[in-house]
Structure 1
Amino acid sequence: MLETSARLLRLLSLLQTRREWSGAELAERLGVSARTVRRDVDKLRGLDYPISVGMGRAGGYRLGAGARLPPLLLDDDEAVAVAVGLRTATGSGVAGVGETALRALVKLEQVLPDRLWRRIEALQVSTVEAPGAPSVDAGELTAVATACRDRQRLRFDYRSHDGQETPRVTEPHQLVTWGRRWYLVAWDLERQDWRTFRVDRMRTRVPTGPRFAPRDMPDAAAFVASGVARAWPYQATVRLAVPADSEVARRTTTYGRIEPVDDRTCLLHFGADTLHSLAFLLGALEVDFEVVHPPELADQLVRAAERFLNAAGRTGGLGDEDSRGPGRGSPDPAPGR
């Protein structure tokens, strides 16, 4: 009896992790026969779990939505991830979610063992509400995420930066968070190309469209970063002293778009709201670079460098020998040192 109960819980957990399972897959995971799987499914259905069974050879088992929420079975890693996510959601900028996330977190805290809470405390994330940050409607975000998960066409009205609304029909593939904003990466059926959409500017239409086969999509994070970079009023291009396929270059895709040049260098195209912001972003790079465009950016870097030298107490200027660091313009050290 205990073995059967444990197997039923394991079966319920599996049904919650994927949209649909074949009988053969469940039998292999549980280490039982397909006939036993059918009997166990019947037992769960007798307990009012809404499990549907597809017809034919390709049919499978699916846990649907019922009149009430079934108990969610989480492993240790999933429970930690949910708790950290709930803590972060209290300051996520999603309208109406903060208080709800806090209530859910209190319920989770009552049942989690101490060993898991120690892991959660180690991953503590503090969030501060940024003034003026765009708020995403929780219902809209859920509708978009569901369409991505179920691979269903999504129709919505999209408001551009100038306030104009246009209807869009898309195949939604992935949601990406960038800064304080949520973006959808989707295939635009009218334009026959990949597009990014800010979720706070979307107004979804129901019902959603038919299911679609997923396409080979670009790297979602890099695609959003490139799109956001092009929208800034100040654009820049710098040559990085690393190849495009290096780890350092891949990390800079959070700034903008990487363009290969040769086996030793690549170009970084990025944007910001001011020249000062462009220089600030370049200051965080971990690699040598050369300004290609615009020339005013080079002047901005010189001004920034002078401020840093002054802050370090080296007021001689960039051309002064005394302002150079150790090993720059100074005599060679004595042999053996």
Structure 2
Amino acid sequence: MNRTARLYALVEELRAARRRPLTVAALAARFEVSTRTVQRDLQALMEAGVPVRSVPGRGGGWSIDPEMTLPPIHLTADEASALTAVLAVADACTPYAGAVRTAAQKIASSMAGPASVAARRLAARIVALPPRGDSAIRTAVEQALADETALRLSYTDAAGRESTRVVEPAGLLTAGGRWYLIAWCRTRRAGRGFRLDRITAAVPTGDRARPHDLAELLLGSVGADAVRPAALASLTPAAE
């Protein structure tokens, strides 16, 4: 068994064990390798973001939280390649880029066979220029959307004018490879769009943001015709 197959099998072995931790010695015997090899494999899984954990003491060992991992994903080679290409554009300026990276690691560890080969081959043929973006600003925007709280933004518009205003985030708009925060601006008392790479500072205010309808805030703007991406249809509640 090669190492890639063994890592995949190791995850499944730990998932199946559930609340019964397995010792390194037991895993070594199961895969007919040395305990040192198992320790290196476990370290590799942890570095890849797999929620492997060690339970100390008598009766302890290694386990994995089945709710925090993915079962085997049966993607076609084309689907795996498409996923690889989409993940490649999730740079530092992309909302939730950090979570995208860890999700990609989990998906990659769950793929096997032709899909895994296709994804790895394409990944080796994609390059990107270093991203230009402030991860602290991106994180503040993500948190404000999740917590429904207001943000104090420092912003530079297309003409180079700088301003500071408090906004109530309503959602995100993507267009032409750019990301925009759509929000109710308390200063202008109207809906506004803020290009993420033009936000120079984003500070949480701690104030609760009122709920705003994203479509209403976009009325009268160049984003008025925006629609939900078809790829997100399966994630959208039926009631919406």
Decide which structure has the larger Cα Rg and report it.
Answer: 1
TM-score (norm 2): 0.47
**Alignment TM-score, normalising by the size of structure 1:** 0.35
